[in-house]
């Protein structure tokens, strides 16, 4: 489907153009924090009469305003909230099973949740926290929900990555930074590169069954909770680092997610690709192009969640 979407496009503009791809469908969004990209994604979708919007995250008590706004837009949308702590394997597994028991079909899964700017620390499962939340939790959630996703006539998974993936190497053998120096850019970058490799492997493994899997960079966005762990100086440094880039609103940031979620023709033709500014853009990161990395990451991820997934 041809379109002229770009860096200034908003979520509402994408949904207005592709509204027939929303109506009657079920969407699950992780990390729907108020004022964030996930919430902006949900609001845009609500304007085109989806059957259901499922919100999943670790702070469901904070999502009340998001639910209210969705229902203000369209009171007929089936909105459900699920508690999912992606940094906890056991919690994620049980939450995903609960969702699977209550939801027959998920047309689009949007892996939107993420953390950034954390000092070196490990999750309850002993996994570096960026890697645990941004990748491992989504890996487990996605795979447990896969039976419901594959029931869709056009199953789609969108994983939010970041331009920060360029700080990753694609070598996950020291994912806990036991033998390498650490700073949050490296931890975050490793997890965001993992989102890309996960996307690539899903496309390779399940593309033949109709699954479209895309990774999207939302752009540089200020004013969300993602930067809350950073000190004032770290925020200032990051603003300086990104000063030459376009700073987007959350609505513009959600636009690329929605192009990936709704433009089926683009997805089928570019399955497994990286997107930015509403277009398939590729990446200059050498680590993203390592042919063996996606499968190695998949195997490591199965080990970390202590479960194998065969399709």
Q: Give the CA count within 13 Å in the CB-facing half-sphere of 72.
A: 8
Neighbours of 281 (CB within 10 A): 14
Euclidean distance between CA atoms 208 and 202, whole angstroms? 10
Q: Tell me if 284 sits within 8 A of 291, measured CB to CB.
A: no
Helix 184-206 and helix 137-149: axis angle, to 10°? 20
Phi, psi (5° rounding) for residue 28? Answer: -115, 130
Cβ within 8 Å of residue 261, ≥6 positions away: 21, 27, 108, 110, 156, 158
Query: Catalytic residue numbers?
Result: 188
Beta-bridge mates of residue 216? 160, 275
Euclidean distance between CA atoms 293 and 298, whole angstroms? 9
Would you say the C-alpha torsion 130, 281, 227, 249 has a positive or negative sign? negative
> What's the angle, vertex CA 190, arms to CA 186 and CA 193, rounded to 5?
135
Strand 108-111, strand 78-83: pairing: unpaired
Q: Which tokens sit at 220?
A: 């540089």
Euclidean distance between CA atoms 106 and 82, whole angstroms? 14
Could you tell me the CA-to-CA distances from 178 to 122, 172, 252, 302 in Å, in that order? Answer: 11, 12, 38, 20
């Amino acid at each position: 489907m041809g379109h002229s979407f770009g860096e200034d496009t908003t979520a509402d503009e994408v949904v207005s153009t592709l509204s027939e791809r929303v109506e009657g469908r079920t969407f699950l969004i992780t990390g729907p924090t108020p004022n964030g990209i996930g919430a902006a994604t949900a609001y845009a979708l609500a304007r085109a009469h989806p059957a259901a919007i499922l919100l999943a995250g670790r702070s469901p008590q904070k999502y009340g305003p998001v639910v209210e706004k969705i229902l203000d837009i369209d009171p007929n949308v089936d909105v459900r909230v699920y508690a999912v702590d992606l940094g906890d394997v056991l919690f994620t597994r049980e939450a995903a099973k609960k969702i699977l028991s209550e939801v027959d079909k998920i047309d689009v899964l949007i892996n939107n949740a993420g953390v950034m700017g954390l000092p070196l620390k490990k999750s309850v499962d002993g996994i570096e926290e960026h890697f645990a939340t941004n990748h491992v939790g989504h890996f487990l959630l996605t795979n447990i929900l896969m039976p419901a996703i594959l029931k869709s006539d056009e199953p789609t998974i969108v994983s939010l990555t970041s331009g920060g993936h360029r700080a990753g190497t694609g070598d996950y053998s020291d994912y806990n930074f036991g033998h390498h120096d650490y700073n949050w850019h490296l931890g975050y970058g490793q997890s965001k590169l993992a989102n890309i490799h996960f996307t690539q492997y899903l496309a390779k493994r399940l593309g033949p069954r109709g699954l479209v899997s895309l990774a999207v960079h939302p752009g540089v966005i200020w004013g969300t909770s993602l930067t809350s762990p950073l000190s004032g100086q770290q925020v200032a440094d990051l603003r300086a680092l990104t000063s030459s880039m376009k700073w987007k609103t959350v609505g513009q940031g959600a636009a690329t997610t929605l192009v990936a979620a709704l433009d089926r023709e683009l997805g089928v033709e570019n399955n497994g690709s990286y997107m930015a500014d509403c277009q398939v853009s590729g990446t200059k990161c050498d680590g993203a192009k390592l042919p063996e990395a996606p499968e190695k990451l998949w195997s490591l991820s199965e080990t970390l969640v202590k479960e194998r997934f065969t399709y």
